[in-house]
Structure 1
Amino acid sequence: MTEGRIPVERRRRKPTKSGVLLSEDVIVDCALRLVGQHGGDALSVRRLGAALGCDPSALYRYFHSTDDLLLAASDRLIGEAMDGFHPERMAWRDGLREFGLRIHREYRAHPRVAALAAYRVTRRAHEFRAVDAGIGLLRRAGFGEEDAVRHYSAFVDTVLGHAALDAAYLALPAERREADDRAWTGEYANLSPQTHPQLGAAREHLPLMAGSSFAVALELLLTALEVAASG
């Protein structure tokens, strides 16, 4: 696929061999399904064409590259996360918490897509809305424009970083996830307190290391922002 924006009038309007009427949404639906089932290697025009029952070249009329399609899929997740979100009705801290939880939850629901795209900039409508909302919440907290942008960057990177980390974990085969989780009650719990005194002292709490630390990290960050806003 090549770079550049595809004019609307060039896009395919007749049904494919399987009777599917192609559109950007239909292609994104298919991409999300294929990546969810088979991982990033499934994001190819050949596999998409086969799944949609069309010549792969027809996809060029909607997306210029598989990367362009990946960004559209990522923006879809942002849109679904933001659906029904009304930050103007919330206190700024509550709004940021809800913002973070929504994005994290949506990416966890699509872990293989999140692992590919959580660190990307989609440059599309849903992301525009999300960034505008996040900066707006921080301005309502009392930050000036520069600090609002700086703090939003730290906030969203924390959210997306945890989303990507948790997504990568969820994308592992079940037996590997279970083995990693068992380590805290197995190998770590059996270490000698003579050689690892801090682990020995905290042994009964080590199972807390299994699973996601996102909720704790989010509250720590929100508290830090609240302190900075009142300083």
Structure 2
Amino acid sequence: MAGRKRWSTEEILDAAAELLRTGDAESFSVRKLAATLGTDSSSLYRHFRSKTELLRAVADRVLVASVDGYHPEGDWKQRITSLALRVREAFGQHPQLAAAWGRYASGGAGSRLVMEEVLQALRAAGLPDEEIPARYHRLAVLIAALIASEAGVGTLTTEEYDQGMELFRVSVLGADPEQFPAVAHFAREIRPLGADRGAAFEEILAAHLDRIEAALPPR
């Protein structure tokens, strides 16, 4: 009787990415992945010690893909912006993994590549070395949060998105002006969270980079 196929690490990651594409990180499990591959969970635990480690590895592949072909160009702000947009685009194709990346981080090759470029760009900005780690951390948290937030909307079905937009319109346009005077005043101008996230991402990132620039020591 032939034994079960021995899956490689890359094949396991491919299957995990596909399973996540059609589901989400919360419902994902090693048992489901094993069933998809026609094997048992114990064979997968030879490659990954836990579900968290597996999710980190899949998310890290997205980061590796985001820097494929990337070459630093422009000043430090342009470098960070370009890299952030590439990471955002990569996770936009795998929105289910964006939340997993923000929650677990990765620590793999992709994470190190992104970290190296951001740290190099902050150093090129002229920040003192002692300030760079904290600046990097705040920047990483901001980018991860923006990407995860945007990806959350990306996982909604068209019906769910439309329902959310309708609920927003009813809630805002129907606000009692006596109880919610500011909401009623701005009701026709306020935009729902799902609207125009691309521009919001770039504007928020640019504002944060401007704040870093304003704190640079004089040259």
TM over 0.5, yes or no?
A: yes
Root-mean-square deviation (CA, aligned residues, Å) is 2.5
Show the counterpart of 1:180: 164
1:11-160 correspondence runs (5 A)? 16-17=4-5, 22-40=7-25, 43-87=28-72, 89-160=73-144
Is contact 1:76–1:126 with CA below 8 Å preserved after alignment?
A: yes
1:153-172 correspondence runs (5 A)? 153-172=137-156
AA aligned opposite 2:210: T
| Rounded Cα–Cα distance in structure 2 between residues aligned with 1:80 and 1:52 | 24
| Rounded Cα–Cα distance in structure 2 between residues aligned with 1:51 and 1:173 | 24
Is contact 2:127–2:217 with CA below 8 Å preserved after alignment?
A: no
Instruction: State the 1:147 CA deviation.
Output: 1.4
| Rounded Cα–Cα distance in structure 2 between residues aligned with 1:176 and 1:208 | 14
| Rounded Cα–Cα distance in structure 2 between residues aligned with 1:22 and 1:134 | 35
Once the two structures are overlaid, the 10-residue window that deviates more, 93-102 or 57-66, is 57-66
The number of aligned residues is 214
AA aligned opposite 2:213: E
User: TM-score w.r.t. structure 1 length?
Assistant: 0.81
Instruction: State the 1:44 CA deviation.
Output: 2.8
Superimposed CA distance per residue, residues 41-91 of structure 1 (whole angstroms, 9 cap, x where no aligned partner): 55333322222233433222321222211110111111111112222x321
| Rounded Cα–Cα distance in structure 1 between residues aligned with 2:33 and 2:193 | 39
Q: Structure 2 vs 1, CA of residues 25 and 68 (structure 1 numbering), >3 Å: closer, same or farther? A: same
Q: Structure 2 vs 1, CA of residues 182 and 223 (structure 1 numbering), >3 Å: closer, same or farther? A: farther
Show the counterpart of 1:216: 203
| Rounded Cα–Cα distance in structure 2 between residues aligned with 1:41 and 1:187 | 29
| Rounded Cα–Cα distance in structure 1 between residues aligned with 2:202 and 2:141 | 15
AA aligned opposite 1:118: G
The answer for unaligned runs of 5 or more in structure 1 is 1-14
Q: Structure 2 vs 1, CA of residues 210 and 189 (structure 1 numbering), >3 Å: closer, same or farther? A: farther
| Rounded Cα–Cα distance in structure 1 between residues aligned with 2:46 and 2:61 | 19
Q: Structure 2 vs 1, CA of residues 60 and 184 (structure 1 numbering), >3 Å: closer, same or farther? A: closer
Once the two structures are overlaid, the 10-residue window that deviates more, 111-120 or 156-165, is 111-120
Instruction: State the 1:207 CA deviation.
Output: 2.7
The answer for unaligned runs of 5 or more in structure 2 is none
Q: State percent identity of aligned pairs.
A: 25
| Rounded Cα–Cα distance in structure 2 between residues aligned with 1:223 and 1:181 | 32
Q: Structure 2 vs 1, CA of residues 119 and 44 (structure 1 numbering), >3 Å: closer, same or farther? A: closer
Show the counterpart of 1:8: none
| Rounded Cα–Cα distance in structure 2 between residues aligned with 1:210 and 1:43 | 25
Instruction: State the 1:123 CA deviation.
Output: 1.8
| Rounded Cα–Cα distance in structure 1 between residues aligned with 2:26 and 2:179 | 44
SS state of the match for residue 104, structure 2?
A: coil
Q: Structure 2 vs 1, CA of residues 52 and 224 (structure 1 numbering), >3 Å: closer, same or farther? A: same
Instruction: State the 1:125 CA deviation.
Output: 1.3
Q: Structure 2 vs 1, CA of residues 119 and 229 (structure 1 numbering), >3 Å: closer, same or farther? A: farther
SS state of the match for residue 229, structure 1?
A: coil
SS state of the match for residue 90, structure 1?
A: coil
| Rounded Cα–Cα distance in structure 2 between residues aligned with 1:73 and 1:179 | 31
